[in-house]
Amino acid sequence: MMVTLAFPSPHRHWRGGRGLFDGLRARWAEQRRLEHHARLEDELRGLWREACFGVGVCQYIEAAAGMTVRTPRFGAARILRGRTTFTAELLPGGEPEDLRAHAPRLAHTLGFRGLRVEQIAGRWVRVTLLETDPLADAFALRRLVTARADETVILGRAEDGVTLGHAHADAAHLAVQGQNGAGKSAFTYGLLAQVCAAPDVLVAGSDITGLVLGRAWTGTAHHDWQTTGTRDLPAHAAMLDRLVAEMDCRLDAMPPRRDKITPTTTTPLVLVVLEEFPGLLRAAQAKDKKLAERITSAVLRLVSEGRKAAFRVLMLAQRFEANAVGGGYARDQFALRLSFRVPGESLVMLHGEDARKLGPEHANSAPGIAYLSAPGHDCTRLRAPYLGDYGEFCDRIARHGRRAS
C-alpha cells in the first residue's frame, strides 16, 4: 500500500503564498465541475422526456389550454466513477418493466449503448446509463466451480450488464436450443464445468455425440452414469431406465411429512443431460419403434416427476419441436429456457407468442447471444459466458471433476 506523507509548509502564515492559489484553483475546478454537472443534468432531463415520448411511455392529459403530455419525471443525476445514473418517477400505474421493455431505444436517444432500471422505493427507479454494450464483448467464464447444488451457476450477462445465475437446486428443468455454431454447446461446457466438482451433484445422461458427456468425464464419479454414441442405442434406454429406477427409489423412501429430497453427498442432485435428444429419438425410431417409445417414456417420467426427487433435466436440441422432444407435454415441463440463434418460429415455439417480435433480430444473432425465459425473466437477452475451446473444457473436467469416493 502506498502512503502519502504531508508536511506543514513553513510559509503557511503568508497569505500570498502558494496555498492561496492552490485553494483558488480547487474552488474554480469544483465550480466548473458543478456547472458541467448542471448542464449535463439539464440536457439529460430534456432528452429523457423526448425519449419517453418517442417510445410511448407517456400519458396524454386534456387541460383547458389543450392537450399536454406527461412522461416519467426526471429526478436528479449523478456521476460516480465515470458512470452516469439518475432517478425517475414512474407514471401512475407504471412499472419498471415499462422502461426495461424500451431500454435499447431509450439509451440510444440519450446517447448511450444501454441502460439498467432498478426500483428504489414506491414509484421511483434508478436508471444507470451504460457506455458500452454488455453483449458486444466476449464474456469469459472465470475459473469458477460450485461446492453445492444450491450455489448459483452463471448463465450469462444481460443487456443491462447484470450477471444472471441459476441454482440447480431450484425446481426447474432447463431447455436449450440453437442452430449449429450458435453457442449452444459452448454454453453447456461452461455450465457443466461449474458443477462438476460439487459433492452433492451427479452429472448423468445421454449424449449421441460423445463430446458433452463421455470421454471428457473418464475417471470421475459421473462417468458410470453416462452413455454416449449411436452404436449401442439400447444402452441409452437402459441408462434412462436406471435413472428412472433411482428416482422411484427416492420417491418410495421419502421421509414422512416431506414432499421433496434435499441434495446431499449420499443422495446427490442428478443433472440428467440429454445432448441432441431429437437425434437420439430419430435414431431409435429408425432401429426399433418400441425402443424409441421406451426412451420417450423414461424422459417423460424424469421431467414430470423428477423435481421432487432432486432430478433436473438439461435437454439440448437444435429445435424444440414438440414431436422431436417427446411431445408438447414434455416441452411444457421446462421452466428455464434458452434459445441461441434460431429461426423466428422456433423462438416462438419455445418461448411463446411474446417472443414473436424478437424473431427477425434473433435469427441473425451472433454466436453466444441467447434469449432466456424463466420465472421473473421473460425473454431476457444475454451473452453466455465463454469457457474456451473444447480442450479447456476437458482440462477443467479432468482437474475439478469429482472422483468416486
For the chain, the distance separating the N- and C-terminal CA atoms, rounded to the nearest angstrom, is 45
Write out the three cell numbers for 145.
466451480
Which stretches of 204-288 are DSSP H helices?
233-252, 277-287
User: Binding residue per annotation — 31?
Assistant: no
User: Binding residue per annotation — 328?
Assistant: no
Q: How far apart are CA 397 and CA 232, in angstroms?
A: 25
Per DSSP, the three-state class of 58 is coil
For 32-43, b where at least 16 C-beta lie within 10 A, e where not — what string? Answer: eeeeeeeeebee
Q: How far apart are CA 369 and CA 157, in angstroms?
A: 10
User: Binding residue per annotation — 391?
Assistant: no
Do residues 281 and 326 lie in contact, with contact meaning Cβ atoms separated by under 8 Å?
yes
User: Binding residue per annotation — 183?
Assistant: yes
Q: What's the Cα-to-Cα distance from 313 to each of 16, 175, 222, 361, rounded to whole Å? A: 77, 8, 15, 29
Per DSSP, the three-state class of 361 is helix
- The radius of gyration computed from the CA coordinates of the chain, to the nearest angstrom, equals 27
Helix pair 233-252, 277-287: axis angle to 10 deg:
120
Strands 174-177, 311-317: pairing is parallel
User: Binding residue per annotation — 179?
Assistant: yes
Please give the backbone phi and psi of residue 68, each rounded to the nearest 5 degrees, phi first. Answer: -120, 160
Q: Measuring CA to CA, which residue among 404, 378, 370 is closest to residue 176?
A: 370
Q: How far apart are CA 207 and CA 210, in angstroms?
A: 5
Tally of residues, the chain: 405
User: Binding residue per annotation — 184?
Assistant: yes
Type of residue numbered 194? Q
User: Binding residue per annotation — 185?
Assistant: yes
Do residues 312 and 173 lie in contact, with contact meaning Cβ atoms separated by under 8 Å?
yes
| Contact partners, residue 355, CB within 8 Å, separation at least 6 | 347, 348, 371, 373, 379
User: Binding residue per annotation — 374?
Assistant: no
Per DSSP, the three-state class of 239 is helix
Binding residues for ATP: 178-185
Binding residues: 178-185
